[in-house]
Amino acid sequence: MKTVTISPALFTRNRQRLVHALKPNSLAIFHANDELIRSADQYYPYRQDPDLFYLTGINQERTVLLIAPDHPDASLREVLLIRKPDLKLETWEGHKLTPEEAGAISGIKTIRYTDDYRALLATMMMPAEQVYLNLPEQPKFIPELPNRNLRFGLELKQQFPAHTYIRLSPVMRNLRMVKSDEEIALIREACNITNESFLRVLDTLTPGMMEYEVEAEITQVFLRKGARGHAYAPIIASGINACSLHYNTNESVCANGDLLLMDFGAEYGNYAADCSRTIPVNGRFTDRQRALYLSVLDVFRFACSLMKPGNTIQRIHNEVCKRFSTEHVKLGLYTREDLAGESADNPLYLQYYMHGTSHHLGIDVHDTGNKETELKPGMVITCEPGIYIREEKTGIRLENDILITSGGNEDLMKHIPVDPDEIEERMNRQR
């Protein structure tokens, strides 16, 4: 990935916060993500386990972090294990971290090689009464293949069956939901780079371009500005493609008269931006497109106003759905009489708005956190209402990243054009 310098003080503080959340005489174990085979002898581009990165800043594969705050040997209270570099390995794969480099990045003093892992683990398990395992826990996503943390956890329970084993996921979720100033600065820069890529699209989009050409314009700005690339697979959806929420094949023509929905965001220093914009391919909204767009923009601004300490994502979503019910009637999608007779189990708004309004944002684009937790200063969430009308071959979504503050919130993407007049003016400046 692109090198972004982050102070080791951030990772040291993150580990200190973790230590305070652990029970006495505990051992917490974190493994790096697996390297995933793409084909033959090729791996997919590597991305670190977010919890391991949060605690160490290390992006290298085959890394292990052991934290045992009450271990009798003070040098073993936090240990980082890395691959042992050698000339043959580096000839093929490039530079690997030295112990000195890993210590400078993470702030950890005891650095060992993974060759010593098994022997060291036995030493650290003996005084531990309970072991925290960093198992994968995503309520909406259950992978078919067990990752390294899960495989190791199952093995460890067989080898040391008398220990008490505890889930790390709830602990890490509580730690990561509230962002530090350093984390917010990284997200802010990711948003700034995302803004530059959107302006590039406004300046270059013309009827007849392919969706993948638009993606290329975004990608080149990301890489040129020092981002690792996209924080997630970008959605570049013209016309009816925008009615498929996770469309990302990006292979159709951007036709004259269509709207183009883009859901994209830069990843900078391992932190994500998440932005959605919808623009007219030919630079001018039709009357109907503008009416639909302004309706979504109205709901977007309403939703943003609700994002403040004490509220929850779920309550905000509920209010947004009520607002959309009224907007849909104004747009002629159904009548007040239809609304009065709707089923509570199948409300009418779901025909045109079927996804959530917000999610947490951070190292992961869908970051750790849930919809019922009360918002607190330092949390970063998205605001992303939309409307999808398949019979009109139209989908519109607007999305910004919102920092919760003690006084309400700060829109981290307020500088990214969203007003339809501003979008049209920019698109037609050089036409």
Active-site entry in 49, 211, 215, 263: 263
Selected catalytic residue, list 54, 132, 268, 388: 388
Q: What would the pLDDT profile of 291-318 be if each residue is shown by its tens digit? A: 999 999 999 999 999 999 999 999 999 9
Let me know if 246 is a catalytic residue: yes
Domain definitions of the chain by residue range? 8-176, 181-427
8-176 under CATH 2.30.110.10, yes or no: no
Beta strands in 52-109 (DSSP E): 64-67, 78-82
Q: Identify the active-site residue in 355, 392, 410, 411.
A: 355
User: Which one of 246, 288, 415, 429 is the catalytic residue?
Assistant: 246
User: Residues 366, 392, 410, 426: which is the catalytic one?
Assistant: 366
| Catalytic pick among 148, 328, 359, 360 | 359
Sign of the alpha-carbon torsion through 243, 248, 249, 254: positive
User: Which residue out of 34, 49, 211, 274 is catalytically annotated?
Assistant: 274
What pLDDT shows up at residue 344? 86
274 catalytic, yes or no? Answer: yes
In the sheet with 271-272, reading across from the earlier edge strand, the strands are 229-230, 266-268, 271-272
For the stretch 204-220, pLDDT in tens is: 999 999 999 999 999 99
Cα separations in angstroms, 411 against 105, 119, 197, 415: 31, 50, 18, 9
- Contact (CB, 8 A) for 358 and 383: yes
CB atoms within 10 A of CB 59: 19
In the annotation, is 263 catalytic?
yes
Q: Please tell me the predicted confidence (pLDDT) of residue 145.
A: 82
Q: Give Dmax (Cα) for the chain.
A: 75
- From the list 71, 211, 397, 401, the catalytic residue is 397
Q: Which CATH superfamily is domain 181-427 in?
A: Creatinase/methionine aminopeptidase superfamily (3.90.230.10)
Q: Is 359 a catalytic residue?
A: yes
Is 399 marked active-site? yes
Tokens of 408: 């309400």
Count CA atoms closer than 13 A to 149's CA, side-chain side: 24
Q: Which of 258, 399, 401, 424 is catalytic?
A: 399
Confidence band of 265 (pLDDT split at 50, 70, 90): very high
Sign, CA torsion 43/47/51/56: positive
pTM for this one?
Answer: 0.96
Whether 163 is a known active-site residue: answer: no
How large is the average pLDDT for residues 103-124? 96
Q: What is the mean pLDDT of the chain?
A: 96
Mean pLDDT of 383-395: 98
Query: Is 277 an active-site residue?
Result: no
Q: For residue 417, count other CB atoms closer than 10 A to its CB.
A: 19
Q: Of 49, 327, 367, 384, which one is the catalytic site residue?
A: 384
182 is catalytic: no
Between CA 363 and CA 361 the distance in angstroms is: 7
pLDDT at 239 over 90: yes
Q: Give the tens place of pLDDT for each residue, 338-371.
A: 999 998 889 999 999 999 999 999 999 999 999 9
Task: Give the pLDDT of residue 2.
Answer: 67
Tens-digit pLDDT profile for residues 132-180? 999 988 777 777 888 899 999 999 999 999 999 999 999 999 999 999 9
Q: Map tokens 């993150």 to a residue.
A: 14
